[in-house]
Amino acid sequence: MLIEEFEKIAGYEVSPDDYKNIIEPMYMTTNLSKADFIACLDKKRFALKPLKSLVKDMKKCAASLKETCTHYRDFEMIEKLEKIAAEYTKRKYIGIAVYSIRDKMLWSCYYPVEIEIYNPNTFKTYETITINK
């Protein structure tokens, strides 16, 4: 069974490492049907957050950064936003894209407004996500 087939039957995405190192070897040692095997797995352990959920998380981080930008620079929230943007980019575009966070100025501070995902070799933009206004 391929990872794409597994995800189609299971209804959720899994990381390539989990599939290659855990799920596939387990499946190969059982005599269960694909559907029965997938039903036995713990979805909480293997399921990745949906991409839509990652976008919502990025928007929450951006809103928090906008709210606090006139008072202080929240480096932990910036790091969290960058981590989520990197995961989204890696999962959706599988190694062919990078992301860039565009900021906007509010009085004397900056807050994130967009995430641009592009190919660094061709400078082609794949997607622009508005995370703040």
Tens digit of pLDDT for each residue in 56-97? 999 999 999 999 988 888 999 999 999 999 999 988 887 788
Cα four-point dihedral sign 33, 14, 91, 59 = positive
Residue 27 and residue 56 share a domain: no
Report residue 64: phi and psi, to 5°.
Answer: -65, -40
Calculate what percentage of the chain has a pLDDT beyond 70.
100
The total domain count for the chain is 2
Residue 38 and residue 56 share a domain: no
- Average pLDDT, integer, range 39-58: 92
Residue 121 and residue 99 share a domain: yes
Q: Which residue has the higher pLDDT, 6 or 106?
A: 6
Residue 77 and residue 24 share a domain: no
Residue 92 and residue 59 share a domain: yes
CA distance 42 to 40: 7
- State how far the alpha carbon of 18 is from the alpha carbons of 26, 45, 47, 93, in Å: 11, 10, 10, 19
Query: Does 130 score more than 80 pLDDT?
Result: yes
Q: Which domain holds residue 63?
A: 51-130
Residue 123 and residue 69 share a domain: yes
Calculate what percentage of the chain has a pLDDT beyond 90.
66
Residue 41 and residue 55 share a domain: no
What is the reported pLDDT for 113? 92
What is the reported pLDDT for 18? 92
> The pTM is what?
0.77
Query: Does 20 score more than 90 pLDDT?
Result: yes
Residue 99 and residue 61 share a domain: yes
Residue 55 and residue 120 share a domain: yes
Residue 26 and residue 58 share a domain: no
Residue 82 and residue 122 share a domain: yes
Residue 41 and residue 103 share a domain: no
